[in-house]
Structure 1
Amino acid sequence: MKVLVTGSHGYIGTILVPMLLAEGHEVTGLDSDLYQRCTFCGDIPRIPVLKKDVRDVEKADVEGFEAIIHLAGLSNDPLGDFRPELTQDINERGSVRLAEKAKEAKVKRFLFASSCSNYGAGGSDFLTEKTTFNPVTPYGWSKVRVEAALSRMADEDFSPTYLRASTAYGVSPRLRFDLVANNLTAWAFTTGRVYLKSDGTPWRPIVHIEDISRAYIAVLHAPREVVHNEAFNVGLTTENYQICEIAELVRETVPGCCIEYAPEAGADKRCYRVDCNKIAHTLHGFKPQWTARRAIEQLYEEYKSVGLTLEEFEGPRYMRIGHIKYLLGEGLLDENFRWTGQQYAEAVGGEQ
């Protein structure tokens, strides 16, 4: 297929794009490249890319594509809480605008990067795609509202699918340290402490970014009637952990480290345990390859390979909210998270 990937230069996009290319798809990216200074390791995929904010997409930008994989947006709860009105503007209105332009341009398939954050304060019972949403953050609410809007747009000519990813982890050229497995492994490697800022009791489903990418590919390859206007929890049902269990896996992997709780560590109302049987039984092309233990080993080896330091880990380069605050402080972004002046000129245009 001819596929447009928004967020092509982000944490997941830089893994998904090469996998799509390997499957024979013709891929174009769309990304404002807020994290162009945040490459950790490896190469950014060299594909045609439209350097553009998702809020500014026009019909002409999406014409000729058979499918859109929409990853772009403010990527987590801290960013969502920092500027809730921009989370609504970018994640919600921007996504709906993109879908509207795609529908006008006769794009047949629209794969939306939703999230298990939709379930929010879900408790310890296993949650299916039919479970009532209970989001507790602006980020979670943005995903819920976009799913609802896209569902209303679904018809014979426009087929959305909602991929509710578990909490991501794994090595990427645009690595993030604000994800639990990546974060705890980095704490252990750089300080000898698996440092927990909550009491460790909340449940989280977690999934490797390569397996998230495999889910998108499986949806692209599936018959339309199987995925039309359907939601899928992305991950493995066996890969649900309490945060303290993830910490223990890190302790067992990183030599000489110990688990330590922050003085202010307390309960986290974000707690959900997710049933992923629907995707396993429906999308026969989706075959996850990773477990948390294996991925923590991968992260540890990568941190050793690059010589990760505490200064890099705690700095703004690989923390999404930290980097956005840095760009704002330097005057490189305006208050609406748009590039300013010369920085915009340097960020847009051309191919990667």
Structure 2
Amino acid sequence: MSSETVLICGGAGYIGSALVFRLLKETDFKIKVFDNLSYGGDSIFSFFNFPERFEFVKGDVRTFDFDQLLKGVDYVVNLTALVGEPICKKFPKEAKEINFDSNIRLAKACEKNGIKRFVFTSTCSNYGLNETGEMIKEDGELQPISLYAETKVDSEKILINELPDLPCTVLRFATAYGMAARVRFDLLLHELIRDAWTKAKIYVFGAQSWRPMVHVDDIARGIMLVLSKSDSIKKKDVFNVGSNDQNFQKLQLAQMIAERFNVIIEETQSVKDPRNYKVNFDKVTNELGYKPIHSAKESIDQIADALESGLIDDRILHESVNVKQN
């Protein structure tokens, strides 16, 4: 095990930095991070304290020589993407090139180079708008209503139905939240917290809409679980990653935050994000033994404490986003 290497593409990002931390702390894997550092490299500075196990390569996923990058690599986790609809809408050409074209090019290179498992990080946003009210399983209808989700769905189809010699696990993550080395404040829970802190009021549109949630550290733990069970799981498979008891209506999240910050909630009318879906996570629990260890309430308290202590300041609040609003 100690000689095996995991390549994490996008390893300096929000999820990537949490994953690298977990892998270095709890496994014997050697870690190679590939990232273009579009959001800086602060999140991975401390990992250089593991010189025998950590390596960093800077590059652009659209142009890099993957055959060279994959030398000595056993497993690949691809987190590289323009994440979320705002940045994909702002840069649609780049979104397709990075999220789809480059992902498939990397997957083909992994198949060619005999990679033991390719882990593709996808999203529960693929389910889009579900009017049935039922909890959606992995074989449920995919209804992407954003360019971001479209790139993920299109990638999934090729990874699962083509590339027969590539062992591949697709992980559809619930909406992320929680503190990490590279924190983000353009995530649902964090946006509501930011409103509570900066405006003393929480603005909620689509208050009755459902959204599954999962802590960034639990995302990292899910990826680690797949890597640890790579020899025993199916060659190709798809898992929703989250927990049934963390399906929330947006108003429920707002109410938890409002109670912590002692602010009011204002429901607004908007169609900018009509997503509405509850997700079933039985498969990942039953087949992989996955169980999250964090809660939304816990993270609300942690972020509130960080704001009140001054650890998170206005600069972090407004700059820790994937795309800045004008």
Q: TM-score, normalised by structure 2?
A: 0.91
The alpha-carbon deviation at position 300 of structure 1 amounts to 1.3
CA contact (8 A) 2:171 2:241 kept: yes
Task: Name 1:79's counterpart in structure 2.
Answer: 87
Deviation per CA, 1:103-139: give whole Å up to 9, x if none.
Answer: 2221121000011011111233210000011000010
Q: Tell me the amino acid that sits aligned with residue 284 of structure 2.
A: I
Task: Name 1:18's counterpart in structure 2.
Answer: 21
1:290 aligns with 2:294: yes
Pairs within 5 Å for 1:141-156: 141-155=150-164
Q: Tell me the amino acid that sits aligned with residue 80 of structure 2.
A: A
CA contact (8 A) 1:185 1:296 kept: yes
Task: Name 1:320's counterpart in structure 2.
Answer: 322
| Aligned mates of 1:63, 1:273 — CA distance in 2 | 41
CA contact (8 A) 2:171 2:238 kept: yes
The number of equivalent residue pairs is 315
Q: Tell me the amino acid that sits aligned with residue 209 of structure 1.
A: V
The alpha-carbon deviation at position 214 of structure 1 amounts to 0.5
Deviation per CA, 1:206-251: give whole Å up to 9, x if none.
Answer: 0000000010011011143424211000000110011111101111
| Aligned mates of 1:267, 1:200 — CA distance in 2 | 13
CA contact (8 A) 1:232 1:279 kept: yes
Task: Name 1:111's counterpart in structure 2.
Answer: 119
Task: Name 1:344's counterpart in structure 2.
Answer: none
Structure 2, unaligned runs of 5 or more: 49-53
The alpha-carbon deviation at position 145 of structure 1 amounts to 0.7
The alpha-carbon deviation at position 42 of structure 1 amounts to 9.2
Task: Name 2:181's counterpart in structure 1.
Answer: 173
Structure 1, unaligned runs of 5 or more: 326-352
CA contact (8 A) 2:117 2:230 kept: no
Which of 251, 264, 287 in structure 2 is aligned with 1:244?
A: 251
1:91 aligns with 2:99: yes
CA contact (8 A) 2:203 2:267 kept: yes
> Residues 227 and 194 (structure 1 numbering): CA distance in 2 closer, same or farther, change over 3 Å?
farther
> SS where residue 120 of structure 2 aligns?
strand
CA contact (8 A) 1:154 1:160 kept: no
| Aligned mates of 2:135, 2:85 — CA distance in 1 | 22
> Residues 103 and 48 (structure 1 numbering): CA distance in 2 closer, same or farther, change over 3 Å?
same
The alpha-carbon deviation at position 309 of structure 1 amounts to 4.3
> SS where residue 72 of structure 2 aligns?
coil
| Aligned mates of 1:53, 1:211 — CA distance in 2 | 28
| Aligned mates of 2:160, 2:271 — CA distance in 1 | 37
Cα RMSD (Å) of the superposition? 2.0
Task: Name 1:129's counterpart in structure 2.
Answer: 138
| Aligned mates of 2:68, 2:275 — CA distance in 1 | 40
